[in-house]
Amino acid sequence: AQSVTQLGSHVSVSEGALVLLRCNYSSSVPPYLFWYVQYPNQGLQLLLKYTSAATLVKGINGFEAEFKKSETSFHLTKPSAHMSDAAEYFCAVRAQGGSEKLVFGKGTKLTVNP
Amino acid sequence: DAGVIQSPRHEVTEMGQEVTLRCKPISGHNSLFWYRQTMMRGLELLIYFNNNVPIDDSGMPEDRFSAKMPNASFSTLKIQPSEPRDSAVYFCASSFGGGNTEAFFGQGTRLTVV
């Protein structure tokens, strides 16, 4: 079964510092990968998605993620954290082959300190 | 489009009562997902439908939970009888197909069973 592992349930950075949130998938065939963000008391919204067109994917709010097949990873980064980035971030996976099933990781809560 | 619409936003009920959560997906979307979010277990996929047909209900906790999708614009998740451990935020999401198409989430229903 498809799954993703997010290392670190909590990450804390200073404003202006690099943000790195980790996501590894378990599949011999590269799946479709997504990053979502959830602000308090809200639903999830898409940050970016891997489409196989490019290994470096740019998303909203200055976030980007790099797909590395050799490491089965899809880590999320942002060069300079902003206070408004404080939220919970979820990596999600969908298997190739026609299934619509979308499975999420446990999430990483990002805190941005002034 | 107004997005995925869930009702109610908040529900407080007594143990043993029946609870029905409702979802209206985005028009034109053919896949619908029900997720449950808790602190302990994160975001769990309960069931998903494709073209109104339940495809995978392996995440449904037990027989007390049931989900229906009578038509393309409406789905329900029912818990009968409810228990305190069912307290969680329940999300509905919809998408158009599989592959790298993202799922769009509703605002969620916060269920409290006392």
Distance CA B96, CA A25 (A): 23
Contact of A102 with chain B, judged by CB distance below 8 Å, is answered with: yes
Residues 36-75 (A) with a CB less than 8 A from some CB of B: 36, 42-46, 49-52
To test the contact with chain B by mutation, choose from A32, A102, A103 the residue with the greatest count of B C-beta atoms within 10 A, namely A102
Instruction: Kindly report the average pLDDT of chain A as a whole number.
Output: 92
Residue with tokens 């997902």: B33
Q: Is the pLDDT of residue A1 over 70?
A: no
A11 Cβ partners below 8 Å, 6+ apart? A19, A20, A21, A108, A109, A110, A111
Those residues of chain B that have pLDDT short of 50 are none
Do residues A83 and A30 make contact, with C-beta atoms less than 8 angstroms apart? no
Check residue A97 and give its pLDDT: 72
How many Cβ atoms are within 10 Å of B1's Cβ, its own excluded?
10
Strand-pair partners of A87: A110
Contact B100 A100 (CB under 8 A): no
Check residue B94 and give its pLDDT: 95
Check residue A96 and give its pLDDT: 72
Q: Is the pLDDT of residue A40 over 80?
A: yes
For residue A99, what is the nearest residue in chain B, using CA coordinates?
B98
Half-sphere exposure of B80 (CA within 13 A, CB side): 9
Q: How many residues does chain A have?
A: 114
Q: How confident is the model at residue A53 (pLDDT cuts 50, 70, 90)?
A: confident
φ, ψ of residue B52 to 5 degrees: the values are: 75, 0
Check residue B1 and give its pLDDT: 67
Please indicate whether residue B3 or residue A30 has the higher confidence score (pLDDT): B3
Check residue B97 and give its pLDDT: 76
A29 Cβ partners below 8 Å, 6+ apart? A95, A96
